[in-house]
Amino acid sequence: MKIIRFQLKRLVVVIFIIIVLFALHSVWNNEKISFDCVMSTDTEKKLDNLLDEIQKALVDLKLTYFLCYNSLWGALKFKKSLPWHTELELCVLNKELTAVDEGILNRIFKSHSLVIIYNSAGGFYKVNKFEENVPTATLTVFEEDQLTHQMRRVGWIHRVLPPNSCEELNCFPPELISEPMPTIMFGTNKVPVPRDSIEILKYLFPNSWWEDITPFHCRTSTERQII
């Protein structure tokens, strides 16, 4: 009997510990979700500062650039970054970049306290401030395809694809970025954007541009019930 009582007590203790751990895990997850859905004021300021310095560097280099991907969504919806997206996304043109010496490119960005690293596989640059890993920026490189006359992603993983693989290459008409491009407020900065509002997003997000971009855990209870 003593052995049975001891085993029952131990079982109760184990169950209690499991319940406590589960409760703590749930609370931690809820806190994390709430935090991820709202950008802190400090992060917003860092994003504004990062964008300001990147724009200065790109202007110094006389490079064409524009908001794209999720940052363009944020600008159109909120006039700033999406609350859950702590990365800037700009697009640049390969034709102009190839005319710039790599050493000069790095030196100009360094003069604005920026680190820039190229990913040759994906065809994009990653940019961040000195000694700051967050937030970061991605500069995605596009070029005009000589066969389709559409703008397309560069990088060796994209060059192995046929020119008509537009869903993977994010092809879009060059007319959408003809100069002069309109500008829009993004936080405290005025930034160039493609023409025709969301039109380019139909090409950058071909399978989801019409969907609600708000992450499921960031939606209100009413919005979740509609799905």
Least confident range from 60-64, 102-106, 162-166: namely 162-166
For residues 1 and 98, the model is more confident at 98
Tokens, residue 113: 């306290």
Average pLDDT over residues 137-141: 99
Q: Which residues in 116-146 are b (16+ Cβ under 10 Å) and which e? A: bebeeebbbbebbbeeeeebbbbbbbbbebe
Average pLDDT, the chain: 86
Cα separation, 135 vs 148, whole angstroms: 36
| Residue 202 confidence (pLDDT) | 96
Model pLDDT for residues 12-48, shown as the tens digit of each residue: 544 554 443 344 333 333 333 334 788 899 999 999 9
| Residue 221 confidence (pLDDT) | 46
Q: Hey, where are the domains in the chain?
A: 41-211
The answer to pTM > 0.85 is no
Cα separation, 95 vs 103, whole angstroms: 17
Backbone angles phi, psi at 66, to 5 degrees: -160, 155
Tokens, residue 24: 């703590």
Where residue 131 falls (left for φ over 0; alpha for ψ -120 to 50; beta otherwise) is left
- Quote the strand ranges of the chain, DSSP E: 65-67, 87-93, 114-119, 124-129, 136-144, 151-153, 183-186, 189-192
Least confident range from 13-22, 79-88, 125-134: namely 13-22
Cα separation, 188 vs 47, whole angstroms: 10
Fold classification of 41-211 (topology level): Beta Polymerase; domain 2 (3.30.460)
